[in-house]
Amino acid sequence: MTLALHYALRSDVGLLREGNEDSAYAGPNLLAIADGMGGHAAGEVASAVAISAIAPLDHQNLHDSKAMLGALARAVAAANNTLHEMSVADPSVEGMGTTLTALLWSGAQVALCHIGDSRAYLLRDDDFQQITRDHTLVQSLVDEGRLSPEAAATHPQRSLVMRALQSSTDAEPDLAMREAMLGDRYLLCSDGLSDVVTEQTMHKTLAAYGDPEHAILQLIDLAIRSGGPDNITCIVADVVDTVTGPVPPSEAPQLAGAAANGDGKPRPRSDSPAGRAHLLTQEAPAVARPLTRPAEQAPSAQPDGYHRDDDADEDADGGRRRWPVVTSILVILIVLVAGGSYAAWRVTQGQYYVGADSGQVVIFRGVNQNVAGLHLSSTFQRTGIPVSHVQGSVLVLPTEAGTLAEAKRTVQNIRRSYQCKQASQQLASWEANKPPKAPVIPKGHKPTPAQKAAQAKAKAYPPQPAVPSYCPAQGTG
């Protein structure tokens, strides 16, 4: 028995986005999906770079698990390096990044590569489970027991990604090997689906539609019916036998989203009932009315006894002649204001400060001001440190703008301050609960039951917790 894939791939811009920042690839040996971030065209570029770096693995015929995982890691590193070089060459895309979830196949062996909050699911014998872990703040709170999975599903910060493939930081993807079985069905999707369609609904849909193409169309339609707030990209792949079928394996590679849309224009929205209903609600564009009568239009005949008011016509013509002058002056003023704002923006881009965004400590590039509606700062690096770790009595956010080195020292101090606080609390708890020293039993004497219990308690007590060397000296008993 030889296993292969029968797959389908689709990407939809959704109802609220102007363009598609998702990219995806599906081939005989590789399934991959990327969800770009960074605003404007940066997200589209980042996701396309990730897919371009990993797509060649589809044709490398890798068979060893070590080789498969190594190839995935090198592809991610290459994409990371490309994003960094692009951001150095063009500061306007600095900070762009993307998620990446990929499955590389060799028979029954599946190498998984994952970073970010796109997802991979497995449907096996009616058991539906997520096989990736979201690299988000909310998921970390669930892992720590501070948030329930039910609350996480609707948490306002559920899309706050802690790890991604970015231009400003090294990528650290999850890498693992899995084993495929005949009849498995895999779903890879961006959060445009998983944020608005429940896992129970995805499970029912995948189980109800035997053809991957039909399943994808239904999933995208469900996401659009739920508001379609983000780009929606899905891959559905069935594990089939190349000999017994019942359907032949797919052979043609497929691209979708930004990676397949070289002109940068958004793809048409899904031709689904929900998509068509949305388009029907859109207001038709207004028809511009001419400011003057067309020259070829003949003046209408005037009734007998009617005299034209030539003075009125002259006033109207004079008004029309004044409009180009007024418009030119307004355009010049706008250019001067915009030029001054741009100059101010450029001057600030060598400065950095530490602030807060979405409950997380962030290094911003620029200064914390607006000039003529232009923001003079942008996100440079997300630290992953919750704002709750900042001691308000010691530091107030945002900080004053300074050098990048100063901003990084501030972040380091925040991180160390919190670590020292935790270490101090652990040490104080250890001191408060430490049992008395074990009694010394003279040689040749038999210990009493109480002495034995005291010795056992002292021996079982954990060692003194370590305190980082950069923390203030702690007193011990």
Neighbouring C-beta atoms of residue 323, cutoff 10 Å: 11
Residues contacting 387, CB < 8 A, separation 6+: 356, 359, 360, 361, 397
Per-residue model confidence (pLDDT) at position 305: 38
Looking at the domain that runs over 3-272, which CATH code has it been given? 3.60.40.10
93-102, 249-258, 411-420, 465-474: range with lowest mean pLDDT: 465-474
Predicted structure pTM score:
0.58
pLDDT interval class at 440 (50, 70, 90): confident
Q: Is the pLDDT of residue 12 over 50?
A: yes
Of 433 and 31, the structure prediction assigns the larger pLDDT to 31
Of 112 and 392, the structure prediction assigns the larger pLDDT to 112
On the 0-12 / 13-18 / 19+ scale of CB atoms within 10 A, 100 is buried
d(CA 97, CA 472): 38
Q: What is the pLDDT of residues 159-175, one digit of tens each?
A: 788 889 988 788 899 99
Q: Is the pLDDT of residue 327 over 80?
A: no
Give 284's DSSP letter. P
Per-residue model confidence (pLDDT) at position 1: 75
Per-residue model confidence (pLDDT) at position 269: 47
> Which among 146, 175, 170 has a CA at the least distance from the CA of 73?
175
Per-residue model confidence (pLDDT) at position 155: 81
Q: Is the pLDDT of residue 326 over 70?
A: no
* Percentage of the chain exceeding pLDDT 70: 78
d(CA 428, CA 410): 27
Per-residue model confidence (pLDDT) at position 78: 95
Structure tokens at 330: 């307004």
91-105, 176-190, 450-464: range with lowest mean pLDDT: 450-464
Q: Domain map of the chain by residue range?
A: 3-272, 342-434
Q: Is the pLDDT of residue 282 over 60?
A: no
Give me the mean pLDDT over the 459-466 stretch: 82
Neighbouring C-beta atoms of residue 186, cutoff 10 Å: 25
Give me the mean pLDDT over the 116-141 stretch: 94
d(CA 381, CA 385): 11
Whole-number average pLDDT of the chain: 80
